[in-house]
Structure formats: structure tokens, C-alpha cells
Structure 1
Amino acid sequence: MRLNRREIARAALELVEEHGSEALTMRQLAARVDRQPSSLYNHVSGRQAVIEEMRALIVESIDVTPFAEQPWPRALADWGRSYLASFARYPNSISLLATTTITDHSTLRMYEVVISALVRGGWTAGDAVAGMRAVEAYVLGSALDRVAPESLLSLEALPPGLPALREGLTGANARHASAAAGFELGYEILIAGMEARVTAAL
């Protein structure tokens, strides 16, 4: 395998998804790609640089084209779903990426597209950043929820005396208890609330 930053990032993502973020050391990563640790430094400056390459690899599959084609509420909704699909493939990497300073240029350019669209839609720049971060926080939490076990909320586990919860998990209601259903309902409410807020301010 010819080593480059992309292949290092791919190997790092696989390592973290299989063994957790604590496994991401330059030594273990080098073993993963069958190289000596020193050879990695020909491509990346260290662990932080590897993390940013991981981020770039995930972000490249997030679609921002709706912001050039649709009103911001619809574009933001589509962006969030694309964001969810990308990060849900790498749930073990979320805590690592969410707790390190972002220096990846492709991620920052993505944010620029989102913020610019919100500003054109009537948001102040500061509120636009806050709104984008609200969506991002919701999406990342939902990405973790997607990998929760199906039995996370189980009818069989309920003790007596919880009638409202039992009804919510019984029969036709049970389909609303899934992570996907929870995401869609919450996301609809979030986007509608954001739209109502900026409309009231105009």
C-alpha cells in the first residue's frame, strides 16, 4: 500500500471504530499500516494532524449543495441529514472529533457555506454560528443514538406502574420509539423553531 494522508486517516478511523479513541497512538497506527512510527511523520505532524485528516475524510461526504439551491430551512434540514449519515458511520470517532480544535480547512469551508446561507436568510452572524452549532450538536447526539441497541427502550424491561411509558412502547406506538423516529421528530421541531425565531426578528 502506498502511504498518504488519506490512507493514514482511513486506517485511523478503522482503528478507533474497532478499539476506541484511546487506541489512536502513532505507534498503533503505524502498526495498522505496517510501517514504523517514524514513517508516519513523513505525511502528518502527529496525532492531532491525524485527527484532522480523519475529520476531513468524514466531512467530504457531507453535502452542502442544497444551500445554493434551496431556502435555508430546507437546505439546513438536508445538510443535517447528510451530516448524520456521514458521522453515524463512525460513532466511536465522534467524541474524539468533538473535543479537539478544528483546523481542517474543508470543515471550516463547510461551516462558511452554512453560516453564509443563514446570514442571507436574515440571521445575524453570531446567531448563525449558534444555530449551526445547535444543529450540529443535535445531529452528533443522534448519530450516537443510531448505534444504541434496539433494546435500549424495551417493553419487557419495564417495571409495573409506568402506564404512559408502557403505552408509548406498545403496539403501533412502538414504531415512534426508534432512534430514526426520534431524530425526525426532534429535527422537524428544531428547524421549525429556528425558522420561527428568525421570521419574528425580521
Structure 2
Amino acid sequence: MADTALALIDRHGADGLGIRQVASKLGVNPASLYNHVPNRAAMIEDVRAIVSASIDFRPLRELPWEEGLVAWARSYRRAFARHPKAIPLLMTTRASAPVLLAGYEDFTIAAQAAGWAQRDVLPLLTAFESFILGSVLDMSGPSVVFDPTGQESDVPRFAAAYATLATENPDDPLATRAFELGWRMLVASARPR
């Protein structure tokens, strides 16, 4: 059922997820789904568990802090890149999926071992997740959202920087470079001061 729910989200976004939509796709009566899931919120958690199961938290346990962050973030980005339409739904509901909370436990242990105070762990995690998920949304939109064409004389330096995009990978001219650059900057300051 959760796989069907995720497929509906992938196709229609958050509006595609409902007990009736999932039941229709499965060819069952909506009432019969309540034998498996008590409500829409529980279905969302089942979807979250599927997506989160692809995040590799192991690097946080096995590698030095900075290296672990890089591997974890790339894994996190790949997991959500497969389901970008799920982001608004999953990031606006409370998370309780055991697989995700177990990963957050790994993050907490690694952050505290790196010197972060307990009270700073959740803001740190939220900052990292905001960047990672923002990057996924950036990947799922137009490859370039700004275009100074026709305004080059007004913004000559920006237009020259924009012109360099022509030499980039046309399938991902900016999002991955932006992620890697931004993540390196975040990791460089990932120790408490």
C-alpha cells in the first residue's frame, strides 16, 4: 500500500495522496484500507519510511565527522531526488518513522562526538536537511531559473557568469555543482565554535 501511495505522490504530488486514491489504485474499497492503516497521517509515515530507507546513515557512524557528512548528504539527496514531489508532504508533517529516527540517532551521536551540544543538534540537523532538500527541489525544477538574456548591458558581470553555464552538463548544469559547493562550505564550518 505504501508503494502505491508513493507512486501516486510521484505522479500527482501531495494532492494525489488520499485513502480513496490509494484504494482506487489498488482496486479495493477505501474502508478496507483502514484495516492496514488508521489514517492518512499513518500512510504518510509509511511513505516516509520507504524514502528514508534509502538514506545511508552508516557514514555518520563509520567515518570521521566531515567525511561522514559528505557521504550522508549525497545519499540523502539521492533518496529524495527519486521522489521530489514527496518533499512538501514529508517535510510538513511530523516524522516518526522508525527507520528515519534511527538515522537521526546516528546523526545525534556523530554530532555530539564532533563537539556539538545537545541543544544544538536539532538546529544543525534542520539546517543540513533544509540545504539538502532545497537542492533536490532545485534539481527538480528548471535547470536554470534565471536568465539575463536581453539585459546583458544592465547586468554585465552576471550575464558573463550566466554564459559559463553553456559549458556545463545540459541535464544538470547547476544544481549538482551548487550542491557540492554549498555542502563543502557547510561541512567546512560543521564543527562548533
1:179 and 1:157 map into 2 onto residues whose CA distance is: 24
1:33 and 1:157 map into 2 onto residues whose CA distance is: 51
**Is the Cα contact below 8 Å between 2:149 and 2:159 reproduced in 1?**
no
1:94 and 1:170 map into 2 onto residues whose CA distance is: 31
Change (3 A) 1:151 1:137: closer
How much has 1:23 moved relative to structure 2? Answer: 2.1
2:101 and 2:150 map into 1 onto residues whose CA distance is: 44
> How many residues end up aligned between the 2 structures?
190
Which of 94, 103, 117 is the matching residue for 1:101? 94
Change (3 A) 1:188 1:173: farther
2:17 and 2:150 map into 1 onto residues whose CA distance is: 36
Query: How large is the Cα RMSD of the aligned pairs?
Result: 1.9
Q: Give the residue type in structure 1 aligned to 2:71.
A: D
Change (3 A) 1:192 1:106: same
User: In the alignment, which residue of structure 1 is the partner of 2:72?
Assistant: 79
Identity in percent: 35
How much has 1:173 moved relative to structure 2? Answer: 7.5
Q: How does 1:145-160 map to 2 (within 5 A)?
A: 145-154=138-147, 156=149, 158=151, 160=153
Q: 1:49-90 deviations in whole A, cap 9, x for unaligned?
A: 000000000011111111222111110121111000001111
How much has 1:32 moved relative to structure 2? Answer: 1.0
Instruction: State TM-score, norm by structure 2.
Output: 0.91
1:65 and 1:182 map into 2 onto residues whose CA distance is: 25
1:72 and 1:45 map into 2 onto residues whose CA distance is: 39
How much has 1:153 moved relative to structure 2? Answer: 3.2
Q: Give the residue type in structure 2 aligned to 1:167.
A: A
Tell me which protein shows more helix as a share of its residues: 1
Deviating beyond 6 angstroms after TM superposition, the runs of 4 or more aligned structure 1 residues are none
Instruction: State TM-score, norm by structure 1.
Output: 0.87
How much has 1:99 moved relative to structure 2? Answer: 0.5
1:46 and 1:35 map into 2 onto residues whose CA distance is: 16
Give the secondary-structure state (helix, strand or coil) at the position aligned to 1:152: coil
User: In the alignment, which residue of structure 2 is the partner of 1:162?
Assistant: 155
Change (3 A) 1:158 1:139: farther
